[in-house]
Chains A and B, each alone.
Chain A
Amino acid sequence: MNILEIKHCRKSFDGVQVLSDISLTVSEGQVVSIIGPSGSGKSTLLRCATLLETMDGGSLAYLGKFAVRDEGGKSVYASHAELKQARACFGLVFQNFNLFPHYTVLKNITAAPLLIQKREKAEVLQTARDLLSKMGLADREDAYPYQLSGGQQQRVSIARALAMRPKILFFDEPTSALDPELTGEILKVIRALAAEHMTMVIVTHEMAFARDVSDHVIFMDGGVIVEQGNPKDIINNPSHERTIQFLSRFN
């Protein structure tokens, strides 16, 4: 079963086309990396997929259920209730974490499962503590976000997303706001999730990481998918001129 299916997604801002005819399918357990120069529309694609941005054309479905239908080239959004259902399928990890600064680490993780999913308190606490120890933050549950390093904050935000038990997790440049020496700890966490077959879509500039961890790589430029396929082929032997140019900057 496909977890995520985006078809012919189109999006413009003030008449400027930012995404043109993007299609993307992610099946269960798959890890997809999206690479490409800045301004190529990677974030916008993720924001359309996570319903933070409305797409102009194309469709979007989670677990085969449409959140957005395409009717004659125009996107039509499903009902409030259906969108809520769709939202329960995914999690999103932001570049700049967006933790809630007035909540402790533990409350950042437990608030939504308790309030939104109305889960049992003891179970949610257990889940949160398990996640924290997995993230190497077992002793920081009472800390506030400002007391943590960037790398620790990002790990909390990953735990916050995971606590909702998403079917798919999106990452938008999860290490770009971090000092290089903190990048590794986040990549390690994502690698561990990949090993557990968590379904993920990752926008990243870490080419070696994308090559090693993902099953599929997409190279975007100018709002279109220029090239996609096996990560080793794309990153080690790109065939497209623009891909070659882009990747040459990383070596």
Chain B
Amino acid sequence: MTLTGMILKMSEGLGRTCAIFFLTLLFSLPLGLVVALLRMSKNRVVQAVTKVYISILRGTPLMLQLIAVAYGPFYLFGYTLLVKQKLLAIIIAFALNYAAYFAEIYRGGIESMPVGQYEAAHVLGYSKGQTFMRIILPQVVKRILPSVTNEVITLVKDTSMAFTLAYMEMFSIGKQIANSQSSFMPFVIAGGFYYLMNSVVAFAMSRCEKALGYYR
């Protein structure tokens, strides 16, 4: 197989790589905020449960979590995942995992907000929800953007873990070619793709940071 052939073949999996990437962000970013709010709940039980959730998802490999979501249903209920449901399993595992990381980032951002912002809004008659959505959250987003960028860059690389479930995204295709052709080249190509994608991510995120740079 020629180099161009490999590149073309592997790029067929880029759509799936991007699907994992964007769907994970779509679900984990809001879910992370919910987890962060539960983590800061005044209810001790809710707080403790969330703490355990975060510590397990951050404390065990994403690959194991993928396997658990994909094969757990079989061991628990004898249900074998359909091929079509592979992406679903991957998104569930990724979203749960990334939500845990994002939750801690949100929490750090929320806790760094000066109490005076809450008090000023409160005195002006803002409800708790209004204060959070209009005053606190926009400022938190700005504060946490650099940490979020780190996670998003990691996510690009983590999409390769889908090969665990033989989900044919770019990396899994490359691995297959590498095996059949006894070639190291597909890994170099994969590295190039990830590097390119992350260059785009870094560029997009720096644009976001600039866009939020209108205030301090």
A contact set with B: CB distance below 8 Å: 50-52, 84, 87-88, 90-92, 94, 96, 98-102, 111-112, 115-117, 144-146, 160, 164
Contact = CB atoms under 8 A, between A and B. Distances in A.
B170 to A, nearest CB: 39
A101 B215 contact: yes
Given A94-B119, A100-B117, A115-B134, A146 B126 contact: no
Interface stretch (B83-91, B135-143, B144-152): B135-143
B117 A98 contact: yes
A236 B214 CA distance: 49
B124 A112 contact: yes
A164 B124 contact: yes
B78 interface: no
Contact of A146 (B120, B130, B142, B215): B215
B123 A91 contact: yes
Contacts of A164: 124-125
Nearest to B120: A98
Contact of A112 (B125, B142, B214): B125
Contacts of B216: 101, 144, 146
Interface string B71-88: 000000000000000000
Nearest to B142: A102
Nearest to A145: B215
A38 to B, nearest CB: 18
Given A98-B117, A100-B117, A144 B214 contact: yes
Given A52-B119, A98-B119, A112-B124, 6 more contacts: A52-B122, A102-B138, A102-B215, A112-B125, A112-B126, A145-B215
Interface string B39-74: 000000000000000000000000000000000000
A100 B122 contact: no
A116 B123 CA distance: 11
24 contacts: A52-B119, A52-B122, A52-B123, A84-B125, A87-B125, A88-B125, A91-B123, A94-B119, A96-B116, A98-B116, A98-B119, A99-B120, A100-B117, A100-B121, A102-B138, A102-B215, A111-B134, A112-B124, A112-B125, A115-B126, A116-B125, A144-B214, A146-B215, A164-B124
Given A88-B125, A144-B215, A146-B216, A100 B142 contact: no
A181 B62 CA distance: 59
Contacts of A90: 123
Interface in B85-125: 114, 116-117, 119-125
Contacts of B214: 144
Contacts of A96: 116
Contacts of A87: 123, 125
In the complex, the 8 A-B pairs of residues with the closest C-beta atoms, listed nearest first: A98-B120, A98-B116, A112-B124, A116-B125, A146-B216, A144-B215, A92-B123, A102-B215
A87 B121 CA distance: 11
Contact of A116 (B114, B117, B126, B138): B126
A102 B119 contact: no
A94 B119 CA distance: 9
A191 B214 CA distance: 34
Contacts of A84: 125
A103 to B, nearest CB: 8
Contacts of B130: 115-116
Pick from B114, B116, B124 the residue with the most CB of A within 10 Å. B124
